[in-house]
């Protein structure tokens, strides 16, 4: 006996009730342990940060992560999954700053780094409960009890080991990096933060400074110079960068004009002459950009005269033979001149066609500086104030602008100035305009292994495929060294110590090395809340082995992307943990599968790939699904400010986790963006879950009535075409789902499962109903039960990785309830194996045709306005081949019953269908004609059916149970009497309505009765429990 199943169901409730079962039976752990001796399947979990609530996009990623290991476990793989948490980084610090009401590094240091970092540590897990609750509720199975945590000492130790490895290979160096910098907060901003703060129509100065030419390689210029002064006219919107100017750039191929401006000559791009207001002046001569190159000019402000250092990149060769550029301070030069260079970033769109280059304040400028060995002048400090002894020294850059302009004006070095409106980035927190600022940073020389990374990429399976050679491949091709240090507080400390006396540096690769070299007591970090973090680690000093001086730690912390990218080994505490060296042999590395959203191509996907290539020369993951983003129903990005963020709990509580999971897995291919709308999740409930549920409840209802007991071997030998067909479809489905999942395509697999459920419900069950309803037990009925049972049980296993709850519900009732010796959970069973011998393509296409013929037949009936309940004598089908005809003949009973006709005939062409008394319906290459002639007998039979239909409805209204036997009473005119006296009709009626007796006289009471007019004949019907 199965547990009775109501056709009404609340999936969300049902799911909540299953979670305790899994806990009690320890199903997750057992599903793993049971396969302990088998081949591994390794998922790397990309660590989220738990300092915010999980959103719908996290659900999406977790569902995609979950489906594959679940499948693999059922296929027999050993698939432990370790949860992970990303705990470091600027986002965490920003949260704490917000809570403390502070917003600058100075304020943090005043507050105290120790206190600050403690707050960070607390804040990291402030939403952990919500994360765990969500993870459990959506049935994302992973080991939440033993996660890797990037701030743990053991994790940090592996990161240190990693850095040391790279250090020893000579892959770590210090250099400059231009970053968007907020002078008020004293902090670099991540690109994400910068993107938040762009403002359109920002007003800035539009300035044309003049640079006085001193000499040129070009004879014409030198000749003109004898005549009157020549100036190069540049253009900028940031006058405060002008003291940092160390070159002017032109476009080599562009045409430049030397304009006679009365007392002076001005050089600028010919195309931009008019725009600059020099359209009417006489053009003395024109030159190619390449001809101006190396023209020398006087700086507007010679740094040497204003107490600012002038540094120049100089080539040096280190011990390991690698060429580097080091910035060396230059001797003061009162007659300093700079030169004109040609670059490809000069455009003729605005300005003067001559670009002012200040390597300390812009990425392209900085790179040009390196390429052309330009001087590097940093006349602004991190607070955005000018240094040195300029007249405007000590001023904030934006306020210095005016004074600089006035100064240039006074010295005759300003051609003109105005205002411009453009888009400019501001600090998203304090609204201060950002400065692009070159800062010292530590780099990993990833370019050293660029080719290897590209080669390794070839070994990866990307889904969707285009990421491989597109976004990711391009990123690798354009690889630049990884600036991995941050001048912040809450992060893995950079394990580099530097001698204050001789400058020697040492990298520490383990805790024991640190203890050994510094002589500290390990207890000073082992037992403290902050462990290896700042500031305690900053206090650790060691003795320089070269000069005996004191070594102090470099103050930076490490980019948290390096933390997460190192998880492939740090989660195992490699190489310190005993046994961790086996990870390369036992399948724990590389991962078989990872999955995150597409923004991780340059984030986590890259950091994993880069680190494993750098460290081991190996790939880090074999298969990767790259998910598209979730947008709102209008296609807009979800954001708090727009108020269009979807709360996953709301969706789950309403529709259940299974529906949401199914939505995530099937609504679009994984790489596409998803426009999320609740309605679509609801549609899944209606279109898929409820249909399956009703097949299930149908089965249970009748199985209980008939006391059906499933055969123990489940080896169903179907004996009807219908059973053979659905078993064939089932095996095809197993084959396809298996294949799709094997190819990391749950979307296709899911869509095929939807089709199967439709076929099962709308053809198999629909056509089989009478087989279950017939009261006597016979082989056909048993075959129907066996077949439907097999379909449902098998389907529950196919469904398990996708909809773990519903699959479990089916399994518990259909299998566990009747067979206590079976596995405790569907998730402990094996994935079904397709029996290819049972796949019958011939039968499959015949059935497809039969379904189509029925569809056409119904359309034909509808066209002739004849109800399906009215039996007809004949249907004629036009077929295009013998095999079609033979296929249909085998399925003749199904077609006849579905269409309610007595006989079927075939013709070879559509033309033959057009006969009188026939109604036709044609579509494509098939056509159907129905005989519309209704004999007296057919009419009477139709009436009997009509009466049966009314009686069935009355049984329901009277509240009878489905299996209740009844007595039927009737009154009617002569015609009705005649129908009800027909033997065949009465037998049919009895069987359909479970009537023991059909009586022409009503009893006095106890009868539920209704009156009708059927086909013009008045009828009164009554039903009563027998």
Partner RNA sequence: GGGCGCUUAGCUCAGCUGGUAGAGCACAGAUCUGAUAAGUCUGCGGUCAAUGGUUCGAUCCCAUUAGCGCCCA
Catalytic residues: 47, 86, 561, 600, 604, 637, 640
Tell me the C-alpha distance between 630 and 507, whole Å.
Answer: 43
Token couple for 429: 């927190």
Q: Which is nearer to RNA, 588 or 955 (CB)?
A: 955
Q: Which is nearer to RNA, 396 or 475 (CB)?
A: 475
Tell me the C-alpha distance between 576 and 593, whole Å.
Answer: 25
Q: Which stretch binds RNA (CB under 7 A): 143-151, 285-293, 302-310, 675-683?
A: 675-683
What is the 3 state secondary structure string of 921-966? EEECCEEEEEECCCCHHHHHHHHHHHHHHHHHHHHHHHCCCCCCCE
Q: What H or E segment, with its residue span, contains residue 30?
A: helix 27-33
CA-based torsion, 85, 87, 90, 93: positive or negative: positive
Q: Is 476 one of the binding residues for RNA (CB under 7 A)?
A: no
Q: Is 482 one of the binding residues for RNA (CB under 7 A)?
A: no
Q: Which is nearer to RNA, 76 or 682 (CB)?
A: 682
CA-based torsion, 814, 819, 824, 828: positive or negative: negative
> Residues 451-470 vs RNA: string with x where CB under 7 A?
---------------xx--x
Q: Is 1013 one of the binding residues for RNA (CB under 7 A)?
A: no
Tell me the C-alpha distance between 338 and 258, whole Å.
Answer: 19
DSSP state, residue 330: P
Tell me the C-alpha distance between 330 and 307, whole Å.
Answer: 12
Tell me the C-alpha distance between 201 and 219, whole Å.
Answer: 44
Q: Which is nearer to RNA, 338 or 676 (CB)?
A: 676
Q: Is 264 one of the binding residues for RNA (CB under 7 A)?
A: no
Q: Which stretch binds RNA (CB under 7 A): 77-85, 207-215, 328-336, 851-859?
A: 851-859
Q: Which stretch binds RNA (CB under 7 A): 247-255, 552-560, 934-942, 945-953?
A: 945-953
Q: Taking a C-beta distance cutoff of 8 angstroms, is the pair 47, 564 a contact? A: yes
- For 745, residues 6+ apart whose C-beta sits below 8 A from its C-beta are 463
Q: Which is nearer to RNA, 224 or 998 (CB)?
A: 998
> Residues 32-51 vs RNA: string with x where CB under 7 A?
--------------------
Q: Taking a C-beta distance cutoff of 8 angstroms, is the pair 190, 428 a contact? A: no
Tell me the C-alpha distance between 510 and 213, whole Å.
Answer: 58
To RNA, the closest distance from the beta carbon of 181 in angstroms equals 14
Q: Is 1007 one of the binding residues for RNA (CB under 7 A)?
A: no
DSSP state, residue 572: T
To RNA, the closest distance from the beta carbon of 755 in angstroms equals 9
630-631 and 621-627 as β-strands: parallel, antiparallel, unpaired? unpaired
Q: Is 650 one of the binding residues for RNA (CB under 7 A)?
A: no
Q: Is 706 one of the binding residues for RNA (CB under 7 A)?
A: no
Which listed residue (284, 290, 555, 668) binds RNA by CB under 7 A?
668
To RNA, the closest distance from the beta carbon of 335 in angstroms equals 34
Q: Which is nearer to RNA, 197 or 509 (CB)?
A: 197
Token couple for 588: 């724990």
- Class of residue 713 by CB neighbours under 10 A (exposed 0-12, middle 13-18, buried 19+): exposed
Q: Is 675 one of the binding residues for RNA (CB under 7 A)?
A: yes
Q: Is 761 one of the binding residues for RNA (CB under 7 A)?
A: yes
DSSP state, residue 818: T
- Class of residue 932 by CB neighbours under 10 A (exposed 0-12, middle 13-18, buried 19+): middle
3-state secondary structure (DSSP) of residue 969 = strand
Classify 356 in phi/psi space as left (phi over 0), alpha (psi -120 to 50) or beta.
Answer: beta
CA 935 to chain centre: 64
Q: Which is nearer to RNA, 297 or 463 (CB)?
A: 463
Which listed residue (324, 385, 439, 471) binds RNA by CB under 7 A?
471
Count of Cβ atoms closer than 10 Å to residue 641 Cβ: 7
Q: Taking a C-beta distance cutoff of 8 angstroms, is the pair 595, 64 a contact? A: yes
Residues 189-228 that bind RNA (CB under 7 A): 191-192, 195, 198
Q: Which is nearer to RNA, 615 or 948 (CB)?
A: 948
Q: Is 902 one of the binding residues for RNA (CB under 7 A)?
A: no
Q: Is 483 one of the binding residues for RNA (CB under 7 A)?
A: no
Q: Which is nearer to RNA, 147 or 682 (CB)?
A: 682
Tell me the C-alpha distance between 975 and 954, whole Å.
Answer: 22
Which listed residue (694, 782, 844, 848) binds RNA by CB under 7 A?
694
> Residues 775-814 vs RNA: string with x where CB under 7 A?
----------------------------------------
Q: Which stretch binds RNA (CB under 7 A): 55-63, 142-150, 154-162, 852-860?
A: 852-860
Q: Is 654 one of the binding residues for RNA (CB under 7 A)?
A: no
Only one residue has tokens 């269009």, namely 644
Q: Taking a C-beta distance cutoff of 8 angstroms, is the pair 995, 966 a contact? A: yes
> Residues 554-593 vs RNA: string with x where CB under 7 A?
----------------------------------------
To RNA, the closest distance from the beta carbon of 1022 in angstroms equals 13
Size of the site for RNA (CB under 7 A): 75
Residues 972-1001 that bind RNA (CB under 7 A): 992-993
Q: Is 364 one of the binding residues for RNA (CB under 7 A)?
A: yes
Q: Which stretch binds RNA (CB under 7 A): 84-92, 438-446, 569-577, 864-872?
A: 864-872
Q: Is 961 one of the binding residues for RNA (CB under 7 A)?
A: yes
In 533-589, where does DSSP find H-type helix?
536-539, 560-565, 567-570
Q: Which is nearer to RNA, 81 or 1024 (CB)?
A: 1024
Q: Which stretch binds RNA (CB under 7 A): 187-195, 216-224, 332-340, 388-396?
A: 187-195
Q: Is 690 one of the binding residues for RNA (CB under 7 A)?
A: yes
φ, ψ of residue 556 to 5 degrees: the values are -70, 160
Q: Which stretch binds RNA (CB under 7 A): 207-215, 541-549, 836-844, 946-954?
A: 946-954
Q: Is 697 one of the binding residues for RNA (CB under 7 A)?
A: yes
φ, ψ of residue 579 to 5 degrees: the values are 95, -15
Token couple for 427: 């600090």
Tell me the C-alpha distance between 507 and 493, whole Å.
Answer: 12
Q: Which is nearer to RNA, 305 or 677 (CB)?
A: 677
Which listed residue (405, 828, 859, 967) binds RNA by CB under 7 A?
859
Q: Is 765 one of the binding residues for RNA (CB under 7 A)?
A: yes
Residues 590-649 that bind RNA (CB under 7 A): 598-599, 601-602, 629, 631, 633, 635-637
Q: Is 695 one of the binding residues for RNA (CB under 7 A)?
A: yes
Q: Which is nearer to RNA, 153 or 855 (CB)?
A: 855
Which listed residue (102, 118, 868, 1007) binds RNA by CB under 7 A?
868
Within 13 Å, how many C-alpha atoms sit on residue 113's CB side? 19
DSSP state, residue 624: E
To RNA, the closest distance from the beta carbon of 600 in angstroms equals 9
């Amino acid at each position: 006996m199965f547990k009775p199943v109501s056709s009404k169901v609340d999936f969300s409730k049902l799911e909540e009730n299953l979670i305790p079962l899994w806990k009690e039976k320890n199903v997750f752990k057992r599903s793993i342990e049971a396969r302990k001796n088998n081949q591994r399947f390794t998922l790397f979990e990309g660590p989220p940060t738990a300092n915010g609530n999980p959103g719908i996009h996290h659900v999406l990623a977790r569902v995609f992560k979950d489906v594959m290991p679940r499948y693999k476990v059922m296929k027999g793989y050993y698939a432990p999954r370790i949860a992970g948490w990303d705990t470091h980084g600027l986002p965490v610090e920003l949260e704490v700053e917000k809570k403390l009401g502070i917003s600058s590094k100075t304020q943090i240091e005043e507050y105290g780094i120790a206190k600050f970092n403690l707050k960070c540590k607390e804040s990291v897990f402030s939403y952990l409960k919500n994360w765990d609750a969500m993870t459990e509720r959506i049935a994302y199975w992973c080991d939440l009890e033993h996660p890797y945590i990037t701030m743990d000492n053991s994790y940090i130790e592996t990161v240190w080991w990693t850095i040391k490895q790279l250090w020893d290979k000579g892959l770590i160096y210090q250099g400059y990096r231009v970053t968007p910098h907020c002078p008020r907060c004293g902090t670099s901003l991540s690109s994400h933060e910068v993107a938040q703060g762009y403002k359109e129509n920002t007003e800035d100065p539009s300035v044309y400074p003049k640079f006085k030419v001193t000499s040129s390689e070009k004879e014409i210029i030198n000749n003109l110079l004898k005549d009157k002064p020549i100036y190069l006219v540049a253009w900028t919107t940031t006058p405060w960068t002008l003291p940092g100017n160390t070159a002017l750039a032109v476009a080599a191929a562009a045409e430049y004009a030397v304009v006679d401006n009365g007392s002076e000559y001005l050089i600028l791009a010919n195309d931009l002459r008019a725009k600059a207001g020099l359209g009417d002046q006489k053009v003395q001569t024109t030159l190619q950009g390449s001809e101006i190159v190396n023209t020398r000019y006087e700086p507007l402000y010679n740094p040497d005269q204003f107490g600012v250092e002038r540094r120049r990149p100089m080539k040096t060769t280190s011990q390991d033979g690698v060429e580097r550029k080091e910035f060396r301070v230059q001797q003061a030069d009162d007659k300093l001149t700079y030169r004109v260079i040609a670059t490809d970033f000069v455009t003729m769109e605005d300005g003067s066609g001559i670009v002012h280059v200040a390597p300390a304040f812009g990425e392209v400028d900085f790179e040009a500086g390196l390429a052309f060995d330009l001087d590097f002048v940093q006349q602004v400090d991190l607070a955005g104030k000018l240094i040195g002894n300029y007249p405007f020294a000590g001023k904030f850059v934006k306020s210095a602008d005016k004074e600089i302009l006035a100064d240039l004006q006074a010295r005759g070095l300003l051609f003109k100035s105005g205002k411009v409106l453009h888009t400019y980035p501001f600090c998203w927190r304090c609204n201060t305009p950002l400065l692009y600022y070159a800062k010292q940073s530590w780099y990993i020389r990833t370019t050293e292994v660029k080719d290897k990374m590209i080669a390794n990429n070839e070994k990866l399976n990307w889904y969707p495929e285009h990421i491989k050679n597109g976004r990711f491949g391009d990123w690798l091709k354009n690889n630049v060294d990884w600036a991995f240090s941050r001048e912040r507080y809450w992060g893995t400390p950079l394990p580099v110590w530097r001698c204050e006396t001789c400058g020697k540096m040492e990298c520490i690769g383990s805790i024991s090395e640190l203890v050994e070299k510094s002589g500290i007591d390990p207890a000073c970090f082992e037992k403290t809340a902050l462990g290896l973090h700042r500031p305690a680690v900053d206090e650790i000093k060691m003795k320089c082995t070269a000069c005996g001086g004191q070594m102090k730690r470099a103050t930076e912390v490490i980019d948290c992307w390096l933390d997460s990218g190192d998880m492939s080994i740090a989660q195992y505490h490699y190489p310190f943990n005993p046994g961790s060296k086996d990870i390369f042999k036992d399948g724990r590395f590389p991962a078989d599968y990872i999955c995150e959203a597409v923004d991780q191509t340059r984030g986590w996907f890259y950091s994993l790939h880069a680190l494993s290539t750098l460290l081991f020369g190996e790939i880090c993951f074999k298969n990767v699904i790259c998910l598209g983003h979730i947008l709102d129903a209008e296609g807009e990005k979800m954001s708090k400010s727009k108020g269009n963020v979807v709360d996953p709990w709301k969706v789950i509580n309403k529709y259940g986790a299974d529906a949401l999971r199914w939505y995530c897995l099937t609504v679009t291919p994984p790489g596409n963006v998803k426009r999320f709308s609740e309605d679509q999740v609801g549609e899944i409930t209606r279109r898929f879950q409820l249909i399956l549920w009703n097949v299930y409840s149908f089965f249970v209802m009748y199985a209980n009535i008939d006391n059906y007991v499933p055969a123990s071997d489940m080896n169903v030998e179907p004996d009807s075409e219908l059973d053979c067909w659905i078993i064939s479809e089932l095996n095809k489905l197993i084959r396809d789902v298996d294949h799709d999942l094997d190819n990391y395509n749950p979307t296709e697999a899911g869509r095929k499962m939807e089709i199967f459920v439709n076929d099962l419900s709308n053809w198999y069950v629909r056509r089989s109903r009478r087989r279950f309803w017939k009261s006597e037990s016979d082989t056909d009925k048993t075959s129907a039960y066996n077949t439907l049972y097999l379909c449902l049980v098998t389907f529950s296993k196919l469904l398990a990785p996708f909809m773990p709850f519903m699959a479990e519900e089916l399994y518990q009732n259909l299998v566990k309830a009747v067979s206590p010796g079976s596995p405790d959970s569907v998730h402990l069973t094996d994935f079904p194996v397709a029996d290819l011998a049972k796949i019958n393509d011939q039968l499959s296409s015949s059935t497809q045709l039969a379904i189509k013929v029925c569809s056409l037949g119904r359309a034909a009936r509808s066209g002739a306005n004849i109800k399906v309940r009215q039996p007809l004598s004949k249907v004629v089908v036009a077929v295009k081949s013998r095999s079609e005809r033979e296929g249909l003949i085998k399925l003749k009973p199904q077609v006849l019953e579905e269409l309610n006709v007595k006989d079927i005939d075939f013709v070879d062409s559509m033309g033959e269908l057009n006969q009188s008394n026939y109604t036709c319906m044609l579509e494509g290459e098939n056509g159907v004609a129905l005989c519309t002639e209704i004999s007296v007998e057919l009419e009477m039979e139709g009436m009997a059916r009509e009466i049966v239909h009314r009686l069935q409805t009355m049984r329901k209204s009277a509240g009878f149970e489905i299996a209740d036997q009844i007595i039927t009473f009737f009154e009617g005119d002569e015609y009705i009497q005649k129908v009800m006296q027909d033997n065949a009709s009465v037998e049919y009626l009895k069987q359909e309505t479970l009537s023991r007796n059909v009586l022409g006289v009503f009893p006095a009471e106890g009868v539920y009765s209704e009156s009708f007019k059927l086909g013009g004949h008045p009828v009164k019907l009554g039903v009563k429990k027998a």
